[in-house]
Amino acid sequence: MKIKICAFALLILFALSCQKSDKATEPAALENSPTDRACGSYQLLQSALAVDPALRDRMNAIEGFTARAISSGAAQKVNARGEIVIPVVVHVVYNKPAENISDAQIASQIDVLNEDFNLQNRDHRLVPDHFRDLKADVGIRFTLDRVIRVKTERHQWAVGYGEDNIKLSSRGGSDAIDPTNYLNIWVGNLGGGLLGYATFPGWPIATDGVVVLYSAFGRTGTLIRNYNKGRTATHEIGHWLNLRHIWGDATCGNDGVGDTPLHNTYNTGCPSADHRSTCTGTPLEMWMNYMDYTYDACMYMFSEGQKVRMLSTLVPGGSRASFVD
């Protein structure tokens, strides 16, 4: 009798072990599984500014335009006639089969963007009372226009000015599609432990867009633990719409937004609700903001100040105005 029971138990265990899951692939099964969030946008920007003084001039002009658009109220009115729609082209540039992510995984990322930019994400209810009145419905909707799949001989992609090869078919990547009218997102296997990076407004148009690690894109399919809710793309599109990291990429730095508190530096993991910086006034840190470095499950808001800064790029004459015209 004991033998029969043991055999039956083993059969059940075998059956359970063979069940397929629609959750993320286990991190151990993936070759590239960063454990901490790392964004290459600032790194890319600094490498570009070192060799392209004209980029600094363009970005300074954009900052001046941003200040005027916000102070005049133009940024606050840019989507008064309804939501702004940004069409998206996704380039899947893969070497191994796991990197050739499914259409379902891509669709899940578009869903996440539409939730996060329209305050329709369920977890926005977790925003602490201290910041509750600051969480913003940005009013931008993203639509998937097409998916381009490119098989490449390259195993990883680096980040740096002149090394943005994933965006160039001549270097094994995929050329951008009309970046003045489409947000181009490249999905591939990034090196250096990066989850993603983006170009800021003012960047050369041929390589303008967002890049995301294939295993941090979307919320279903081939994904790594802690970065499996699609928030890397939300973060990087924030950069593409002219947001800086919330700590200003410096100790108690300036992110150009008035209602985000000063941060000592970036946060990782999931900090406690009463986590404070040692900057002037020792403010509570807005670690749940999409522009920090916390886990996907612990970032769930843009602020009102970030909203108008992003919308200023879409004002007539702004750096992203072609998406509204």
What pLDDT, in 10s, does the model give residues 275-324?
999 999 999 999 999 999 999 999 999 999 999 999 999 999 999 999 99
- Which residues, listed in sequence order, are joined to residue 303 by a DSSP beta bridge? 135
The per-residue pLDDT for 105 is 98
Q: What value does the CA radius of gyration of the chain take, rounded to a whole number of Å?
A: 21
- Model confidence over 36-90: pLDDT tens digits? 788 989 999 999 999 998 999 999 999 999 999 999 999 999 987 778 999 999 9
Does residue 298 lie in a domain region? no
pLDDT at 30: 64
Q: Is residue 179 part of a domain?
A: yes
The residue among 170, 239, 235, 236 whose CA lies nearest residue 202 is: 239
Q: Tell whether 11 is covered by a domain.
A: no
Q: Which amino acid is residue 232, in one-letter code?
A: T
Query: How many domains, in total, are found in the chain?
Result: 1
> What is the pLDDT at residue 149?
98
- The strand order across the sheet containing 196-198 reads 140-151, 84-94, 183-188, 210-213, 196-198
Give the model's pLDDT for residue 258: 96
**CB-facing half-sphere around the CA of 264: CA atoms within 13 A:** 8
* Nearest residue to 40 (alpha-carbon basis) of 184, 193, 243, 175: 193
Whether residue 61 lies inside any domain: the answer is yes
* Domain membership of residue 144 as a residue range: 26-249+303-323
pLDDT digits (tens, 9 = 90+) for 188-224: 999 989 999 999 999 999 999 999 999 999 999 999 9
More confident residue, 15 or 163: 163
Indicate whether 105 belongs to any domain: yes
Q: What is the pTM (predicted TM-score) of this model?
A: 0.90
236 an active-site residue?
Answer: yes
- Considering 99, 236, 285, 304, which one is annotated as catalytic? 236
Cα–Cα dist 46/211, whole Å: 17
Q: What is the CATH number of the domain that holds 32?
A: 3.40.390.10
Instruction: Assess if residue 290 is contained within a domain.
Output: no
245 secondary structure, DSSP code: P
Q: What does the CA dihedral 259, 262, 265, 271 come to, rounded to 10 degrees?
A: -70
Yes or no: say if 165 and 173 are a contact pair by the CB < 8 Å rule. Answer: yes
Does residue 195 lie in a domain region?
A: yes
What is the per-residue pLDDT across 249-259, written as a single tens digit (0 to 9) for each? 999 999 999 99
Whether 312 maps to a domain, the answer reads yes
